[in-house]
Structure 1
């Protein structure tokens, strides 16, 4: 169980689409580099650990590189699909980004789903993608660390030394990773630093953590654990649920039906868990989609991947965050709708009451009694 004052990481989301209702034509916002720089500036200045640059319409590496000189503190959690890029080339990209950003890169290993990967030319099935990632990560780690390669696997062959740099992180930058299947758990236990869940309830998360800790122990390893969630924060619980109601009213039943039809064909175990949280139709009352106290599944009607949100006042949201922390979560990847405005709202109403270490001054945060007292007051 985590203590109330153990340090955590909080990442914001920095990926299109966005807007007041981005699943609708009149609610979607134009997303360009100047706008993304605004969001990155908020993340950089408000005290977030960093931002997740997920798979989306923009390439995550190009986007991240474009934001290095616009930020000073923000860590870049950059998504990458192993089957789509050589591990040695990815290692070179990682070294370069790590060098130019003064060590602010983290990789988020994404295995995707079969339909998504086929569109990019990869024909590997579900479990084979994880077998491929197993080899890919081994080669990537050696290459990033500056080692000479002599790897002959089922999927990957790499010989000699192609790279001239070594990572600012030693031996390598951290690796994040998600996946709810047993194949995913096995790879996480073997290779990953932080395992991510998709907005499941605290009891479900606690069960996954128990399983992953046991698997990691068999490898003489330990893992950290994170979760991806939306936050709908307002001054009161009633106002927050009214915002959830507003979001529901912007959803087109035809858009929901099309999205749900596509998602049901996914071979992602995590995606199927998100689908199981609702009937695939828009209810009149948002509380019908409350799958756990203050945890709302409404956004999974209109978006793939993680679609649950903590809904409530700052006090309510902080209490639920604490419950996840008690289950073993130390990394939170959160977002709101729209990204820019909600980055400020969460930054002003939630972050000041969380024990987030500043990258440049972790010791001072640990000794900051005033923040500790404020945190304790806020959640009780």
Structure 2
């Protein structure tokens, strides 16, 4: 989450890109962090034993918090102290919350299941609304938010300009 905050900042009603970010691997560690995705008991246990991070499925803030608490308890039982948490989020940013909701309605035709659970994370709204939700995710322990955009190129432009 801190990395996302370093990349984007809120200027009035706009999200703006602060800088480009490159991540270098150290000589001591010749692999990047291993994230695992899965919610079954077996997957959760594998994450607690082996993974550097857990990519949970899209979900509400309350479910994400419960998932993090559950994983922290599993880590403790395995003698591990910390991993990183990531969550996917369908992201639609418009000037107002109402505009974003109208676009979402056009995109899904009112059928929530069209976009799986990524919609449950709830990054739909004005730049202020989306920034507030990202901050809430950070406050419960989410380290990374994977912005899912559709259609990708035009929505990426909206994220970049913050409208």
TM over 0.5: yes
- Out of 293, 308, 323, which is 2:136 matched to? 323
Shift of 1:332: 0.8
Query: Are the equivalent residues in 1 in contact too, given 2:97–2:124 (CA < 8 A)?
Result: yes
The C-alpha deviation readout for 1:349-379, integer Å capped at 9, x for no partner, is 28xxxxxxxxxxxxxxxxxxxxxxxxxxxxx
Q: Which has the higher contact order (CA 8 A, sep 6+)?
A: 2
Work out the CA distance in 1 between the residues paired with 2:20 and 2:71.
27
2:2 pairs with 1:190: no
How far, CA to CA, are the matches of 1:302 and 1:340 in structure 2?
A: 20
Q: Which has the larger radius of gyration?
A: 1
State the match for 1:18 in structure 2.
Answer: none
> 1:317 Cα shift?
0.8
Answer yes or no: is 1:178 the counterpart of 2:37.
Answer: yes
d(CA) in 2 for partners of 1:169, 1:179: 29
Stretches of 4+ moved more than 4 A in 1?
Answer: 45-49
Please tell me whether residue 337 in structure 1 is matched to residue 156 in structure 2: no
TM-score (norm 2): 0.78
Matches of residues 240-319 of structure 1 in structure 2 within 5 Å? 240-249=100-109, 282=110, 298=112, 301-303=113-115, 306-308=118-120, 309-319=122-132
Q: Distance between the aligned counterparts of 2:141 and 2:134, measured in 1?
A: 11
Deviates more, 1:180-189 or 1:336-345: 336-345
Residue of 2, 9, 17 corresponding to 1:7: 2
Structure 1 residues without counterparts, runs of 5 or longer: 1-5, 11-44, 50-72, 76-101, 104-166, 250-281, 284-297, 351-380
Map 1:1-380 to 2 at 5 A: 7-9=2-4, 47=19, 73=22, 103=25, 168=27, 170=29, 172-221=31-80, 222-249=82-109, 282=110, 298=112, 301-303=113-115, 306-308=118-120, 309-349=122-162
**The residue matched to 2:48 in structure 1 has which SS?**
helix
Please state whether the residue corresponding to 1:316 is helix, strand or coil. Answer: helix
Give the corresponding residue for 2:11.
Answer: none
CA RMSD of aligned residues (A): 2.7
Distance 1:195 1:239 in 2: 33
- Does structure 2 retain, via aligned residues, the 8 Å contact 1:48–1:347? no
Q: How far did residue 47 of structure 1 move?
A: 4.6
Shift of 1:347: 2.2
How many aligned positions are there?
A: 150
